[in-house]
Each structure stands twice: as structure tokens, then as C-alpha cells.
């Protein structure tokens, strides 16, 4: 696209270090101070005994990490973080691909459908979550009502969707998937439209039916876009605390606690800054891995 | 190998508008290389795609090997297609690209290697089997596309302007390869192009199309020396045939037949020619100007000469056309008619 | 792709079914918000009623309650206030930075662009604890200015990214021509690039605003008093009195807060996708 014009030695592409630094510096400084600084501060806190309200601060080495690793709620939090992240992403990959195939070709009302489908992603996370809280209410849930009406449950005997540990986990997983599917669908759709029209036609002439064309030709060709959608989906889910906070506040009995929500519970609500910081640092390893894969995708597509 | 036939084939995209393809009737001959020739928008690609099964006709029938195929999907028609962009699967190796049709038709896996190597051998790309399409040159990609097409041993080849994405130098050699390829496999082939030189060079017969209507179906000699109407007459040949309206006919003569009187023998029509522009192309000259005097005064005409250095701009010379080479067309229908006597003065 | 007529019909039916199922699953909670907003409490909280019907007359009581007896309007105002200022800060920081990276910095531009992108991956759920202390240090706790200060940390990287891709798609020849005509490099940026890029800039405005409305962690951490809440935190927390959820008003609030954002988002969807997929789509 613009690659060819960028290769040409033109006046416009000549480097101008002074001006570029001047234009870039404010943003860089801002981010460095308000992201880099706090990041280092988080690390510092994790090795200290910081508490809200305490003016004193001592270095405690690995003490925080030791006590965290022994705490059962931490182990639950790590387990849940992975269950929710990976579980929802699997649902999202399958769902978004199917939905993208269905939305690929124009049809009357496609704009409206797209609007409706995007609502979970566009609405503020907390509001969507609270909508689900109402839908999954232990007494007034409309889902329960329908199931009772269909005689799957006796009246007043419908399950506590957010109150029973395993159901609560399923509910949180559901809401995460619900929120991310629109995002992934829209990205996959863009990837699909980027595929030249004659490739699926060639496959049809070669004798491939619908599923073979999708699974052996189209979807493999979408690998870079698929990677982008999956990586972002993983990041958005892994680092989110809102859904859990609103739906279950980590309960029942910590069974839906995740790393971010636990960090909040201990660090802010419990005033134990050090513990909160230490827990949230456990997010870093996976983020580094995800960032690495993101960069690989970006570099590979540059090479092409 | 099979014969492709269409009967009253029509394709209308938008109701109320003229169809992209209108009542096309033709029949290929076994093993021939038939060219669909026409300007862009003439319907030639739509026609090809209907034969392939990628577009549904609005009305009319398509037959392959005597069987009506309207309701058959592309895979069931035993055709192979080479697309303008070649449509190679970018994520698969050359080997897997060629093997894909076999896989799709559920040919047993142990036969794949033999067939792929046979197809690759036919096109001389055996050394490229492990490469990916993005590592190949334009000519190599064409060969892979052909190998993928031939591996299924189809009844008909369909080719949609496969040379138009190649640069000029490569085009000539790729064209020659295609001709050689067709001679060696002999499958009935239909080739779409807007380039009349390609059509003349490659086609056994040419189907000339404009606005979805067939103007002529004939050998290169037929369409060039005996054009059915003024469209065919001006579309084939570069520069195009000179056309002039005289009383109730249109008279035509090709630039290479519009020569200085001294170079003509036999019965000729003398024409005074004022030279206004000369272009030297190396192998010949293109001389354009206007006629002077007579009924065709001020008419713009073009001549092709092997030597024109002596011609001066804005000078008038004695040129002429041999009456044998004149073509006559009906003024209303634009179709060719028998020679008529006309007065030029 | 044409198939037998019966195949195509079947395909269309399957597609219709898939779309119906997905649309229902995804949009149903919002439909339910709509219904709930207009149902009388008596209707909502009577177990025997069929929830899909209006068993009592629809009511505007919840909306009235929401707008007159809660701080909802104030929260809307807070959100708009924060949004507008954050958009301004983001534009001032991100537009020149994106231009610098897209045009002026050569190979370094690519690397810095990637560095910017990586900062976007540092989540609020990691930074919120140290930032809460930074905010306290500046005595900005419980102030909207705390959010105004912190929000650009995620709106700026995303906007730089979006705009970089956008600027790169404008051919260099335009600036060449402008500079041949006598403009300085910076002059070309102000007088040429910015007017041409209005749609990209507008996209940044819209998405920055939506990011502000969607944010939860910082708003929850830094703001405590009821009157200073943002939409995303005020509704789930302060429309609950003790253990009692005012579901009718809650659902009405969710809807009112979500729909305008949804409309805006949809208008600029293509640019948004381009921002995420820059580089991945060939």
C-alpha cells in the first residue's frame, strides 16, 4: 500500500530527528511517568510491607510472595484466572468464526444485526455484567423461570447461578465469552473480507465443499488475524476484574476469585498494598508471553 | 475432452437493464483452443464464469459433453479454471497446491504423489514442489496454476485472462508456453482476453463479444479478413480499420492496405492524403492524416507503411486502396454486405 | 458461490438460524434491560408472573426515580466532563506523536511504535495499586481529576497506534508537494495532514470517549463519594441501597448509559478494526 512510496527517497520521508523528538516527547514522557513509574512502584511495594495509612515502609524481601503462594485463595485465583481466560477464549474462537461466516455476505438488515451483536462489547463492562446479574438472580432470574416453565426444575428450586461454586464459575465464563465474542467476530470478519474472492472460487472449482474450503483454505489463510483476535481476547479476559467483582465479588467462598480481583480485594479493600501489588505482579509472566507472540505476528506480516 | 455448448444463454444482473450476457449461442469443437475476445464489460468473463458454475444463468442452457450442467456445482462439471491472479493457496506448498484438487475429490492418498509429479513434470516445475507461492516468479506461478488445473484431467480448461498480470516481456514467453501446453495435452480450452493480438496468436477460433452479444465466431483469418460487422472490423487489427460513410454504405479499408498509389496494382480507388503525423515504430511507420477532395474530404485516416521517411508533414500525396481489399457494411445494421458500387467523388 | 438451488436455500436457512441464535444470545440482556426498565415493581417481584409479559401496565416510575432521586444525571455529567478533557489531552499528545512515528523516525519509528503498543498491554489491574498511592500523594483522591490524569495512559497508546496506521496510508507525495510549495515540515503537518486526517482524528475522539465510559478499575479505586462517580461505577454500586438492588432503575440506567456509546461505536467500526489489525491484515 504505502510501502512502495515509503521506499522512495522523498523529502517527506527524510528523517528529521529534532522535530520528531519534539513531537513524540510529550506522549513518551507522559507514558513513561504514569506507566513506567507505577510499574516500578508496584515491584517495590511487592517487596515491602506497604499498607494504606502507614507512613512507614520496610523491605521484606520475598515474604509477601511466600505467604501468597501458601494461601489457598491465591491458588484458587490462579486456577480461576486460567480457567476463565482459556475457557472463554475457546468458546469465543468457535463462536466468533461461525458468526463471521454467517455475516460475511451482505443481506438485508445486516447493519442492524451488526449493531445488536456488538452491544456486549460496546457497553461498559460493569453495566453488561450487572445486566447479567439480574438475568442470573437467584430468585428472579428469567432463565430460571423458563427452565421451571419447561419443567426442568421444580418451582423455587432453580439453581443459584451465582451462588453455587461450579455454577458461578460457569456464569463468569459465560459472561466473559459473551463480552468478547463481538470483538473477535468483527476482527475475523475484517480478515475474511481481506481474502481475495477467487481463492474460495478456485477451491470450489477444485472440488472442495463448504467445510473443506473453510477449514483447509480460508481459516488457515486467516492465521495472522486469528492470532491478533485470540491474543487480545486473552489479554482482555486475563486482566479483567470487573466481571467477577460485579457478578460474584469473588464468591462464593473465593471460588470465582481471579488474580486481578484478588489483588483488588486485598490491596484496596483490605488496605494491604504489598500483598495486592505482589499478586498483581503474577499477571506479568503471562502478559510477557502474550506480548512476545503479538510481536511475532506483527513481524511475520511485515516480512510478507 | 468434451464439447462446450450454450443455448440462448442470458445473464441479467439488474432487472430492467441490459444483460451482461444476451442470448449467446455457440459450440466449441473437440480439443480446440477457443478465445472469448471483447472489450471490458463485454460479458466474456461472465460467460466463462457461467460455464464454470460460478454464476447462475438467468435463462438458457449450458452443456458440457452433451449434458446440461446448469444445476451442477463447479466440482461436478469436470472443469478446471485458471484465474487471472492464479489464485494459488498462499499457505500451501506448490506440491500441496497441486494435490489439493485430488484431496478434494477424495482420490486415495497413495496416488497423490504420482499424479502431482506427472503434472509438475508436464510443466517443468518438479524442482519447485516444496516452495511456497510467494517465492515464485510470475511465470512459475502460471505453471503451478496450470499444473493444479491439469492434475484432475478435466474435460474442459477455462482460463480468465491469465497473462494480464504479467509484465510485457514475460507475457510473450508465457503465451508461447500456454500454446505449447495446449498442443501437448489437447484438452478443449476456453480462453478469455481483451487483447486482440493474444486472441489472433493463440486461438483456433475466436468468439467476438460486445455488450453480451456475439458478433462473430470464426478462425483468426475469418474475423480479420472477413469481419461480420463494423465492431469486429475495428476491434481486430491495430491501428483499427478505417471506416467511412458513403451514400448508404460504410466502406472500410485496413491501414496496411491504404498505400501510396505507386505501390498498388490492379483496380484501385485513388485517394488524396494529407499527412499530419508520422510515428516510427522501428519495424514500420504509422502515418495519420486526412483525405483531401471528393466525398470523403477531411476524413481522418491511418496508414501503415514499411518506409515513410520521405513523407512530409502537411503535404498531400497520392494514395489509394485496392478494390479487392475494400469491405462494405450496411449503414443501418453495421453488418458486412457484398461489395457495392459507390462513387467516391 | 452457486450451488444447486436446494443447496443455496438450505445454506440460507442455516445462516438465518445461526444469526438468530447468536443475535438473541448476545442482545438478549439488553432487551431484558429494556423490558425491566418499564415494568412495575409489583410485576417484577411477583414470582408467579410470566416475566415475558407486562402483567401490570408499563411504567415510567423507574426512569423518574433514576433521573430525580439518584445522582444518575450527575454521573452522566461527570463522565462527559472527564471524557471531553481526556479526549483533548489524548489528541494533543497522540496526534503529533503518531505523525512523528509514521513519518519522521524511520526504523526507530517502527521500534518506538512497538514500544508504545507494549505499554498498552500493561493492565490497569497491575497499575491501580501504585497509582492509588500516586493519586493520594497529589491529594487527588476522590477527584475526577485523578481520572483525567490517569486515563490518557491507555487512551494515548491506542490512539497513537490507530493514527500511525492512518497516517501511513496517506502518500508521502502530498507532503512533498506541500514542502515544494513552501511549507515547512511542521507547517505541512498542521495545514495539510491534520485536515486530511479529520476522519482518523474523529475516530480517535470517539474511541477515546468510549474507552473512558467503559473504564471501571481506576474509577472504582480513585473515586469514593457518590457525587463524583462515573457512569460505570455509580450505577452498579450506588443504585444498590444496602443489599437491595433497585433493578428497575438499574436496568434503565444501564440502557441509557450504553446505547449512545453503541451508536457512536458502530459509526466508526471500520477504523477501529483497522487500528487493531494494522499489520496483521496484508
Give me the pLDDT at residue C281, please: 44
Pair (B215, B268) in one structural domain = no
What integer is the mean pLDDT of A136-155?
Answer: 85
Calpha distance B12→A246 (Å, rounded):
57
How far, in Å, CA of B230 to CA of B234, rounded? 6
Question: What does the pLDDT average to over A41-52?
Answer: 86
Note the Cα C250 to chain centre separation in Å.
20
Integer Cα distance of C108 and C130 in angstroms: 31
Cell triple for residue A36? 513506567
- Sequential DSSP letters for C54-103: -SS---SHHHHHHHHHSSHHHHHHHHHHHHHHHHHHHHHHHHHHHHIIII
**Interface contact A268, partner B, CB < 8 A:** no
Residue C246 is part of which domain span? 72-277
Q: Do B73 and C2 touch (CB under 8 A)?
A: yes
- In this prediction, residue A178 carries a pLDDT of 97
When pLDDT is cut at 50, 70 and 90, the band that residue C242 belongs to is confident
Q: Which residue of A has its CA nearest to B157?
A: A205
Mean pLDDT of C76-105: 91
pLDDT for res A96: 96
Q: What is the DSSP string of chain A?
A: --HHHHHS--TTTS--HHHHHHHHHHHHHHHIIIIIHHHHHHHHHHTB---TT-----B-TTHHHHHHHH-HHHHHHHHHHHHHHHHHHHHHHHHHHHHHHHHSS--TTHHHHHHHHHHHHHS-HHHHHHHHHHHT-TTT-HHHHHHHHTTSS-TT----TTTSHHHHHHHHHHHHHHHHHHHHHHHHHHHHHTS-THHHHHHHHHT--HHHIIIIIIHHHTHHHHHHHHHHHHHHHHT--HHHHHHTTT-STTTT--HHHHHHIIIIIS--HHHHHHHHHTHHHHHHHHHHHHHHHHHHHHH-
**For a pLDDT cut of 90, what percent of chain A falls above it?**
44
Q: Name every chain C residue with its beta carbon within 8 A of the beta carbon of A47.
A: none
Q: Is B291 helix (H, G, I), strand (E, B) or coil?
A: strand
Distance CA C86, CA A84 (A): 32
More confident residue, A153 or B85: B85
For the ranges B257-271, C43-57, C97-111, C236-250, the one whose mean pLDDT is highest? B257-271
* Cα–Cα separations (whole angstroms), residue C233 to A242, C153, C249: 10, 19, 15
Q: Quickly tell me which residue has 523516525 as its cell.
A: C105
Q: Please indicate, yes or no, if residue C4 is contained in any of the structural domains.
A: no
CB atoms B71 and C2 under 8 Å = no
Q: What is the pLDDT of residue C27?
A: 94
Task: Note whether B136 and B244 are same-domain residues.
Answer: no
H or E segment to which residue C119 belongs: helix C106-120
What pLDDT is recorded for position A8?
43
Residues spanned by the domain of B332: 240-337
CATH at B297: 2.40.50.140
CB < 8 Å to B152, chain A? 206-207
Phi/psi of residue B14, nearest 5 degrees: -120, 125
3-state SS class at C196: helix
B83: nearest CA partner in chain A: A198
List, for residues C129-144, the tens digit of each pLDDT value.
Answer: 999 989 988 988 899 9
H or E element at residue C215: none
Q: Check whether residue B309 and residue B333 sit in a common domain.
A: yes
Query: How many domains would you assign to chain B?
Result: 2
Across the interface, which of A203, A205, A209 has its CB nearest the CB of B80?
A205
Q: pLDDT tens digits for chain B (345 residues)?
A: 689 999 999 999 888 788 899 999 999 999 999 999 999 989 999 999 999 999 999 999 999 988 999 988 888 898 999 999 999 999 999 999 999 999 998 999 899 999 999 999 988 899 999 999 999 998 899 999 999 999 988 999 999 999 988 888 888 888 998 999 999 889 999 999 999 999 999 999 999 999 999 999 999 999 999 999 999 999 999 899 999 988 889 999 999 999 999 988 889 899 999 999 999 999 999 999 999 988 888 899 999 999 888 888 999 999 999 999 999 999 888 998 888 887 877
Count of CB pairs separated by less than 8 Å, A with C = 329
Is there a single domain that holds both residue B160 and residue B262?
A: no
CATH number at C195 reads 1.10.3720.10
Tally of structural domains, chain C: 1
> Does any domain span residue C53?
no
Name the superfamily (CATH) of residues A72-303: MetI-like (1.10.3720.10)
Phi, psi values for residue B27, rounded to 5° = -145, 130
Name, in order, each residue with C-beta under 8 angstroms of A164's C-beta and a sequence gap of 6 or more: A252
pLDDT at position C102 over 80: yes
Residue B343 located in a structural domain: no
Identify whether residues B288 and B153 lie together within a single domain.
no
Do B119 and B261 have their domain in common? no
* pLDDT recorded at residue B250: 92
Which residues 6+ apart lie within 8 Å of C140 measured at CB?
Answer: C146, C149, C222
Cell numbers that stand for C96 in this block: 503529533
Chain C residues within 8 Å of chain B (Cβ atoms): 1-5, 7
pLDDT at A11 over 70: no
- Is position B232 within any domain? no
Q: Do B104 and A217 touch (CB under 8 A)?
A: no
CB pairs under 8 A between A and B: 59
- Structural domain includes residue C64: no
Which among B225, B255, B290 is the end of a domain?
A: B225
| CB within 8 Å: B54 and C1 | yes
Closest CA to B260 of B314, B305, B225, B312: B305
Instruction: Give the pLDDT confidence of B8-53 residue by residue, as tens digits.
Output: 999 998 887 888 999 999 999 999 999 999 999 899 999 999 999 9
3-class DSSP state for residue B70? coil
- pLDDT value for C278: 60
In a domain, C235, yes or no: yes
pLDDT band at C2, cuts 50/70/90?
very low
A20, A21, A24 from A17: Cα distances, Å? 5, 6, 10
Question: Which of B198, B225, B252 is the C-terminal boundary of a domain?
Answer: B225
Out of B81, B103, B152, the one facing A202 most closely (by C-beta) is B81
Residue pLDDT, tens place only, A214-268: 999 999 999 888 998 999 999 999 999 999 999 998 878 888 999 999 999 998 8
- The per-residue pLDDT for range A85-107, each reduced to its tens digit, is 999 999 999 999 999 999 988 88
Q: Which position has the higher pLDDT, A67 or A85?
A: A85
**Residue B285, in any domain of the structure:** yes
Q: List all residues of chain A from 53 to 92 with a beta carbon under 8 Å from chain C.
A: none
What single-letter DSSP state applies at residue B335?
B
B315 and B259 housed in the same domain: yes
Mapped onto helix, strand or coil, the DSSP state of residue C17 is helix
* Rg for chain C, CA atoms, rounded: 24
pLDDT higher than threshold 60 for residue A10: no
The pLDDT mean for chain A works out to 87
Separation of first and last alpha carbons in chain C: 24
Bridging pattern class, strands B336-337 and B327-330: antiparallel
How far is Cα B73 from Cα B92, in angstroms, rounded to an integer? 24
Question: Domain containing B135 — which CATH number?
Answer: 3.40.50.300
Q: Quick check: pTM over 0.95?
A: no
Residue B10 falls within a domain, yes or no? yes
Distance CA(C216)–CA(A250), nearest Å, equals 16
Amino acid at each position: 500500500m504505502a510501502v512502495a512510496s515509503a521506499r522512495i527517497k522523498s523529502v517527506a520521508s527524510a528523517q528529521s530527528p529534532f522535530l520528531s523528538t519534539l513531537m513524540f516527547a510529550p506522549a513518551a514522557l507522559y507514558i513513561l511517568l504514569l506507566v513506567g513509574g507505577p510499574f516500578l512502584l508496584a515491584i517495590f511495594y511487592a517487596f515491602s510491607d506497604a499498607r494504606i495509612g502507614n507512613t512507614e515502609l520496610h523491605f521484606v524481601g520475598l515474604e509477601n510472595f511466600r505467604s501468597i503462594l501458601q494461601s489457598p485463595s491465591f491458588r484458587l485465583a490462579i486456577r480461576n484466572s486460567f480457567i476463565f481466560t482459556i475457557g472463554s477464549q475457546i468458546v469465543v474462537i468457535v463462536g466468533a468464526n461461525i458468526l463471521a461466516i454467517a455475516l460475511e455476505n451482505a443481506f438485508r438488515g445486516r447493519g442492524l444485526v451488526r449493531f445488536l451483536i456488538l452491544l456486549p462489547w460496546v457497553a461498559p463492562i460493569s453495566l453488561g455484567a450487572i445486566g447479567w446479574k439480574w438475568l442470573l438472580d437467584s430468585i428472579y432470574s428469567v432463565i430460571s423461570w423458563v427452565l421451571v416453565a419447561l419443567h426442568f426444575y421444580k418451582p423455587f428450586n432453580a439453581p443459584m447461578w451465582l451462588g453455587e461454586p461450579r455454577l458461578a464459575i460457569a456464569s463468569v465464563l459465560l459472561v466473559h465469552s459473551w463480552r468478547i465474542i463481538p470483538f473477535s467476530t468483527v476482527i475475523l470478519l475484517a480478515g475474511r473480507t481481506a481474502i481475495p474472492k477467487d481463492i474460495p472460487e478456485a477451491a470450489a472449482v477444485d472440488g472442495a465443499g463448504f467445510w473443506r474450503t473453510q477449514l483447509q483454505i480460508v481459516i488457515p489463510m486467516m492465521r495472522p488475524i486469528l492470532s491478533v483476535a485470540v491474543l487480545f481476547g486473552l489479554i482482555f479476559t486475563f486482566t479483567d476484574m470487573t466481571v467477577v467483582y460485579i457478578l460474584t465479588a469473588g464468591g462464593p467462598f473465593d471460588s470465582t476469585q481471579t488474580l486481578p480481583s484478588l489483588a483488588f480485594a486485598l490491596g484496596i479493600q483490605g488496605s494491604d498494598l504489598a500483598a495486592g501489588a505482589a499478586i498483581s505482579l503474577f499477571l506479568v509472566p503471562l502478559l510477557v508471553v502474550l506480548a512476545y507472540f503479538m510481536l511475532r505476528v506483527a513481524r511475520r506480516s511485515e516480512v510478507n | 475432452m468434451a464439447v462446450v455448448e450454450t443455448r440462448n444463454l442470458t445473464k441479467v444482473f439488474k432487472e430492467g437493464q441490459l444483460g451482461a450476457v444476451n442470448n449467446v449461442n455457440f459450440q466449441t469443437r473437440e480439443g480446440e483452443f477457443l478465445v472469448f475476445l471483447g472489450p471490458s464489460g463485454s460479458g466474456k468473463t461472465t460467460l466463462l464464469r457461467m460455464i464454470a458454475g460460478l454464476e447462475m444463468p438467468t435463462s438458457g442452457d449450458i452443456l458440457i459433453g452433451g449434458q446440461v450442467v446448469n444445476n451442477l456445482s463447479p466440482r461436478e462439471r469436470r472443469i478446471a479454471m485458471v484465474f487471472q491472479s492464479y489464485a494459488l493457496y498462499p499457505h500451501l506448498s506448490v506440491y500441496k497446491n497441486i494435490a489439493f484438487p485430488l484431496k478434494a475429490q477424495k482420490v486415495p492418498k497413495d496416488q497423490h504423489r504420482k499424479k502431482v509429479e506427472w503434472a509438475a513434470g508436464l510443466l517443468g516445475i518438479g524442482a519447485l514442489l516444496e516452495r511456497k507461492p510467494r517465492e515464485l516468479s510470475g511465470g512459475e506461478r502460471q505453471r503451478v496454476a496450470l499444473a493444479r488445473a491439469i492434475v484432475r484431467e478435466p474435460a474442459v480448461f477455462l482460463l480468465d485472462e491469465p497473462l494480464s498480470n504479467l509484465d510485457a516481456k514475460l507475457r510473450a514467453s508465457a503465451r508461447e508456453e500456454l500454446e505449447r501446453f495446449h498442443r501437448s495435452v489437447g484438452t478443449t480450452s476456453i480462453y478469455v482476453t481483451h487483447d486482440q493480438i493474444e486472441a489472433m496468436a493463440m486461438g483456433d477460433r475466436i468468439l467476438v463479444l460486445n455488450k453480451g452479444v456475439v458478433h462473430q465466431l470464426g478462425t483468426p483469418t475469418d474475423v480479420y479478413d472477413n469481419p461480420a460487422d463494423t465492431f469486429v472490423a475495428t476491434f481486430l487489427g491495430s491501428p483499427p480499420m478505417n471506416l467511412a460513410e458513403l451514400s448508404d454504405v460504410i466502406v472500410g479499408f485496413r491501414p496496411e492496405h491504404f498505400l501510396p498509389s505507386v505501390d498498388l496494382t490492379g483496380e484501385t480507388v485513388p485517394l488524396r492524403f494529407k499527412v499530419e503525423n508520422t510515428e516510427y515504430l522501428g519495424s514500420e511507420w504509422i502515418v495519420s492524416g486526412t483525405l483531401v477532395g471528393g466525398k470523403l474530404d477531411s476524413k481522418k485516416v491511418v496508414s501503415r507503411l514499411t518506409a515513410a521517411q520521405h513523407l512530409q508533414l502537411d503535404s498531400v500525396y497520392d494514395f489509394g486502396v485496392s478494390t479487392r481489399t475494400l469491405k462494405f457494411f450496411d449503414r443501418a445494421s453495421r453488418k458486412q454486405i457484398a461489395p457495392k458500387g459507390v462513387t467516391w467523388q | 458461490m452457486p450451488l444447486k438451488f436446494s443447496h443455496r436455500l438450505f445454506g440460507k436457512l442455516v445462516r438465518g438460524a445461526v444469526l438468530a441464535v447468536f443475535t438473541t444470545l448476545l442482545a438478549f440482556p439488553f432487551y431484558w434491560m429494556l423490558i425491566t426498565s418499564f415494568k412495575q415493581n409489583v410485576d417484577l417481584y411477583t414470582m408467579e408472573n410470566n416475566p415475558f409479559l407486562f402483567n401490570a401496565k408499563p411504567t415510567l416510575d423507574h426512569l423518574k426515580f433514576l433521573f430525580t432521586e439518584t445522582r444518575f444525571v450527575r454521573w452522566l455529567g461527570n463522565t462527559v466532563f472527564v471524557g471531553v478533557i481526556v479526549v483533548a489531552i489524548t489528541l494533543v499528545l497522540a496526534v503529533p506523536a503518531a505523525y512523528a512515528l509514521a513519518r519522521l523516525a524511520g526504523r526507530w519509528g517502527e521500534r518506538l511504535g512497538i514500544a508504545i503498543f507494549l505499554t498498552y498491554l500493561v493492565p490497569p489491574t497491575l497499575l491501580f495499586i501504585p497509582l492509588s498511592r500516586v493519586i493520594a500523594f497529589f491529594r487527588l483522591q476522590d477527584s475526577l481529576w485523578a481520572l483525567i490524569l490517569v486515563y490518557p495512559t491507555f487512551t494515548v497508546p491506542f490512539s497513537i497506534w490507530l493514527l500511525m496506521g492512518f497516517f501511513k496510508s496517506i502518500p508521502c507525495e502530498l507532503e512533498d508537494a506541500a514542502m515544494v510549495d513552501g511549507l515547512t515540515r511542521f507547517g505541512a503537518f498542521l495545514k495539510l495532514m491534520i485536515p486530511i486526517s479529520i476522519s482518523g482524528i474523529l475516530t480517535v475522539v470517539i474511541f477515546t470517549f468510549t474507552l473512558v465510559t467503559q473504564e471501571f478499575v481506576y474509577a472504582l479505586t480513585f473515586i469514593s463519594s457518590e457525587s463524583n462517580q462515573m457512569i460505570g461505577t455509580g450505577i452498579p454500586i450506588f443504585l444498590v441501597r444496602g443489599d437491595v438492588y433497585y433493578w428497575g432503575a438499574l436496568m434503565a440506567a444501564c440502557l441509557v448509559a450504553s446505547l449512545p456509546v453503541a451508536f457512536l461505536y458502530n459509526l466508526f467500526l471500520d477504523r477501529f478494526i483497522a487500528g487493531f489489525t494494522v499489520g496483521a491484515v496484508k
